[in-house]
Structure 1
Amino acid sequence: MTKVFSRNRLLAAALGLVLTRMAYCSVSAPGIPTVAQYFGTKARYEELNPRLLRDILSVNRSVLNPPPAARCTPIHLTAVIRHGSRFPTVKNIRRIQKLHELVVREAAGSGDWLREIKSGWDMWYTEDMDGQLVEKGRLDLRTLAKRLSLLFPSLLSQEELQQSRIRFLTSSKHRCVSSMEAFQQGLQEQWGGPDVQFQHEVNDELMRFFERCRGYVDGVEKNRTALQEVEKFKGGEEMEGVRRRMGERLGLPHHRLTPDLVEAAFFLCSYEFSIRSLHSPWCFLFDEEDAKVLEYKSDLKQYWKRGHGHAINSRSSCPLFHHIFNTLEEAGRAHRSGEPLSESASIQLGHAETLLPLLSLLGLYKDPAPPTARNYHTQHGRSFRSGRIVPYAANLLFVLYDCRQGPRLQLLLNEAPLRFPGLEEDAPPYEAVRDAYRHLLQGCDSHSECEVKPGRRTNTEL
């Protein structure tokens, strides 16, 4: 009976894989807007991994790359994941509504795409949508779960869950909770066995640490000068050129188009594509140069608000940093002592605002010259491109290996190897990683970092 049951489970899992691939491939492949690679944090995961357009469950096992001679076996996975594709927030829905009304009422340009906007496109976004996860976002997380279970079959298994060794943490925001439920559903579909009882823990202290750091809230979030580079760029010549060209295409005086309305149109193009897989007529308002400017404006905001621009941005993620390394330490200690691991995997669902400060704290994606309002033309080769780092369903993976000569740690971002700064191997010895971050492991105290002190000013890392 046991063999028959196991065979049936394997058949069910295989059938689930086939049906998922068939369902995804049966959707008519839309034309991809030429500007899609510049959507920043509103980019689809597939723009970063185009192989998934051919096979949504494609897994590249060669990304797990400890030295062959080290004879390594993965023993723990910590995954920090961004939620999937979502609806616009209320703020952007209101801007889209204002833009649509302006275009319908006053645009006098020509072109089939404009006629389609004015007579065939309905303003279907409503304020009750407010950032909620969409069906595409659920697919993002279900299929990510399946790919990770194929990549780490010994760590993300039904047996590990039944032994309570897979932990699920999420932000309290509904798009993250829904993403976690979709991820768990993906695991269930992949396993193909009887239904299992999933649980998750809401933990904003780890997943929304930025809200609890007073130094960040007062020094950046509520500080008008913290994003001055963004404000300067909004009024600069590059953005003025985008406004002028957009006005000409619409047949509108460009002064009728504020920078916020220009951005709303670009966002609308991205939402229609990420939510509905449509090459929207709104996308024809922009050429590739326009898209590069708008991507840069978005990256400026992410850099100065969440990235390397101010030291407190990255330092606010100290609680999550310590939690990750404490989990790795416990897994390594238990394995060395021969005890059962308390956690084979820790799945943590958060936001772009969760990942970017952590990546910055780790010293990643820091270019020689910071992006500013004045150096757009020298920044085309920058590594800090938010759409390449934190698209929808972005994921940062910490893989701990047991190896013949000691543990090793590998970092992957969006299912691709990412080296720790200053280390020359994809999976260096764990002790080398600890040495590289010793200053953070012994410091980076969230209470002292986030304490608001009299006269304390925002600290830039320029």
Structure 2
Amino acid sequence: MSSALFHGSFQVVLLLLLMCTVLNTYVHADSDGRFAQIPIFSTKTPYFWVRSNDEIINEDSEFTHDATDSAHSSKSCLSFHINSLIRHGIRYPGLKWIKRMDEVHEKLIKAAVRSKSGFIEKWINPFPYDKEHALSPLGVAELFALGKRFGQRYKALFDEETDKLEYIISSKERTSDSRRAFHEGLSEIISVDDADANVDHMLVLDDKILRFHSGCKKYIDQIENNDTALEEYFKFKDGPEMKGVVSDVIKRITNTDADDANLLNGDEVQTIHQICAFELSFFGKSDWCQYFDQKDMEIIDYLNDLKHYWQKAYGYKLSSDMSCPLVRHIFQKMDNAVHNFEDGEDFTLGMFRFAHAETLGPLYAALGLYKDQEPLMANNFKRQANRLFRSSKILPFAANLAFVLYECEPDSDEEDIEESEEENIYVKLFVNEEEIIIPACGEILCRYTDVRQYYSHLIDKCDFGKICEIEEAQNHDEL
């Protein structure tokens, strides 16, 4: 990634960001290959399609909380530490998908398919092989904007003290580039003269924390590389809903009611869906999108959610268990912040990790977030229309999770209640910049000691080697 992309003018990148914002007004394909509402593309959804970049960012550094428990009806709270995990921004497709795009295009050309305006005949794959998985200019824009938003929300917390920030990245270049863009955006708000001058000593590369899935042999053998672990995904892929999508796409491509079942298979229709997703995010439109309607999009979205649910989240307990090194690291950093805050010593104000959807999904499951009462299955598509686990909303590009620590004091009416300093430390949990209910206490604001105790099995009893060892008897029936 060229350094000029970061250190030159951001005018081009901000124009691209504006494109993301414009697309907030666009899932129902029209004749120009655009959508009338926000498109749903699972983990390939740009961040600013699910969050508006035009919203007003309110500072969350200090607030008064009206609690539900009678002992602490009102609290004045001041933040002192933020601890986050951020997915990289929009990237180029992987090599597998780029090659599949070329293959399906070549197949349609050989079949002498004539598209409206001749776009199929003229189409050239805009995603070069040598860019595979690289952060795109739009990805830079996403993270730059996200850094600004974090700076605006926690400006009083950071107070221009960038020497008290820490960054951790994975070994993939897209996380390093995302970190750099985020830091530049953050620095624009907290007024750092040289945004990257003091970052190297704060930067750590750690795949054991951020790519734990790649080091867990049991996970790789039993889930990632085991088709039987994705039985529900394949059932739905071969089921009537997806067969209907394939048939509809073929009819739209051939522009006839005749169903040429041999023209495309399910994998090739998914590939066209990927072209639509990436072109729409990169360029604001895609002629390939005209072959899908709202119903098709929802079916493919559920297909993708089945894969992520079973492979990365709640399908198997191993997926959440193997994230314990990350959970432990998050809470160790918060423990350190709490103790040093109470002792009046220096500590990290902001802990920022940059990783992947494969990092966030298991973390969500470990924390008990977005867990539906009924597991996602091939046979309950209609019942899951309002599911919590929707990857396009919780795992888009630049998805982010953040714990924020606060010191809270009772209001003046309850000054007689004596509490230790530790009992005055509270925490909020944000996902994609929205505060959510923490399972540990069922509230937006929880006492930190209660939250830590709730997840203590992941923090104090994390044995990654034991979790990831291969057992002779393999069981894929756990939910």
* TM-score computed with the length of structure 1 as normaliser: 0.88
Q: Deviations over 1:372-400 (max 9, x none)?
A: 11211211111100011010101101001
Partner residue in 2 for 1:5: none
Alignment of 1:237-316 (within 5 A): 237-251=240-254, 253-276=260-283, 278-316=284-322
Aligned to 1:206: 209
Give the residue type in structure 2 aligned to 1:177.
S
- Retained in 2: the 8 A contact 1:407–1:429? yes
Alpha-carbon distance between aligned partners in 1 of 2:106 and 2:473, rounded to the nearest angstrom? 46
Whichever residue aligns with residue 467 of structure 2, its letter is E
1:453 deviates by 2.2
Note the C-alpha offset of 1:219. Answer: 1.6
Q: What residue is the counterpart of 1:171 in the other structure?
A: 170
Does the CA-based 8 Å contact 2:313-2:320 persist in structure 1? yes
Deviation track 1:254-275 (CA, whole Å, cap 9, x = no partner) reads 3221211111111111101212
In structure 1, C-alpha distance between the alignment counterparts of 2:75 and 2:439, rounded to whole Å: 22
Q: CA deviation at 1:437?
A: 2.1
Between the aligned partners of 1:323 and 1:228, the Cα distance in structure 2 is: 33
Q: Could you report, residue by residue, the CA deviation over 1:111-168 in whole angstroms, capped at 9, with x for unpaired residues?
A: 34xx23333x32222211111000000011111111101111144343x223xx2110
SS in 2 for 1:38: coil
Q: Which secondary structure state, in structure 2, belongs to the residue aligned with residue 167 of structure 1?
A: strand
Q: 1:371 to 1:65 in 2, by over 3 A?
A: farther
1:427 paired residue number: 445
- The CA RMSD measured in Å over matched residues stands at 2.5
What does residue 4 of structure 1 align with?
Answer: none
User: What is the SS of the residue equivalent to 1:428?
Assistant: strand
Structure 2 residue 376 is matched with structure 1 residue 371: yes
Displaced runs of 4 or more, over 4 A: 16-28, 62-66
- The one-letter code of the counterpart of 1:169 is I
Identity %: 32
Counterpart-to-counterpart distance in 2, 1:185 and 1:71: 32
Q: Which digits, 9 at most, give the CA deviation of each residue in 1:45-81, with x for residues without a partner?
A: 112113x1x36xx413469866163221111111100
Which blocks of at least 5 consecutive residues in structure 1 are unaligned? 1-15
Pair 1:156-2:161 in alignment: no
Residue in 1 that maps onto 2:46: 44
Q: Give the CA deviation at 1:371.
A: 1.0
- Residues paired across the two proteins, number: 434
Question: 2:230, 2:81 → 1: CA distance?
Answer: 39
Instruction: Please say if residues 45 and 391 of structure 1, whose CA atoms lie closer than 8 Å, have aligned partners that are also in contact.
Output: yes
Q: For the residues of structure 1 that align with 2:16 and 2:96, how far apart are their CA atoms?
A: 34
The structural deviation recorded for 1:415 is: 0.5
The one-letter amino acid paired with 1:339 is E
In the alignment, which of 449, 452, 455 is matched to residue 467 of structure 2? 449
Query: Mean Cα displacement is larger for which, 246-255 or 125-134?
Result: 246-255
CA distance in 2, matches of 1:391, 1:435: 30
Q: In structure 2, how many angstroms separate the alpha carbons of the residues matched to 1:385 and 1:66?
A: 32
Partner of 1:226: 229
Q: Secondary structure at the match of 2:155?
A: coil
Choose 429-438 or 356-365, whichever is displaced more. 429-438
Q: Which moved more, 1:235-244 or 1:63-72?
A: 63-72
Larger helix proportion of the pair: 1
- Quote the offset at 1:94 in angstroms: 0.7
Q: State the distance in 2 between where 1:202 and 1:28 align.
A: 32
Q: Which amino acid aligns with 1:323?
A: H
**Which of the numbers 130, 133, 151 marks the counterpart of 2:132?**
130
Q: State how far apart, in whole Å, the 2-side matches of 1:400 and 1:139 are.
A: 28
Structure 2 residue aligned with 1:401, among 406, 410, 414? 406
Contact 1:65/1:427, CA 8 A, preserved across alignment: no
Q: Kindly tell me: are residues 289 and 20 of structure 1, through their superposed partners in 2, closer, same or farther at Cα, counting changes over 3 Å?
A: closer
Output the CA distance in 2 between the equivalents of 1:358 and 1:459: 21
Q: Which piece of structure 1 moves more, 400-409 or 348-357?
A: 400-409
1:311 positional shift? 0.6
Q: Contact between 1:365 and 1:383, CA under 8 Å: does it hold in 2?
A: yes
Compute the displacement of 1:245 (Å): 0.4
- Give the distance between the partners of 1:443 and 1:400, measured in 2 at CA: 23
Greater shift after overlay, 190-199 or 412-421?
Answer: 190-199
Specify whether residues 107 and 386 from structure 1 end up closer, same or farther in structure 2 by C-alpha distance, changes over 3 A only: farther
Shift, 1:19, TM fit: 11
Q: Is the 8 A contact 2:16 2:138 kept in 1?
A: no
Q: How does 1:101-112 map to 2 (within 5 A)?
A: 101-106=106-111, 108=113, 111-112=116-117
1:266-306 deviations in whole A, cap 9, x for unaligned?
11111012122x22111101000000010011000000100
Deviation per CA, 1:162-208, whole angstroms, max 9, x where unpaired?
A: 3xx21100011111111111112223333444213322211101110
Contact 1:248 1:254 in 2 (8 A): no
The separation in 2 between residues aligned to 1:311 and 1:27, in whole angstroms, is: 36
Cα separation, partners in 2 of 1:291 and 1:25, compared to 1, 3 Å = closer
Q: Distance in 2 between matches of 1:63 and 1:300?
A: 38
User: What stretches of structure 2 of length at least 5 have no aligned partner?
Assistant: 1-8, 27-34, 67-73, 410-418
Higher RCO (CA-CA < 8 Å; seq separation 6+): 1
Distance 1:91 1:22 in 2: 30
Q: Whole-Å Cα distance in 1 between the matches of residues 111 and 98 of structure 2?
A: 20
Counterpart position of 2:416: none
Match of 2:58 in 1: 60
**What does 1:1-80 correspond to in 2, within 5 Å?**
24-25=17-18, 29=22, 32=26, 33-34=35-36, 36-50=38-52, 52=53, 54=54, 58-61=56-59, 67=65, 69-80=74-85
Equivalent residue number for residue 141 of structure 2:
139
| Native 8 Å contact 1:36 1:270 kept in 2 | no
Q: 1:236 to 1:17 in 2, by over 3 A?
A: closer
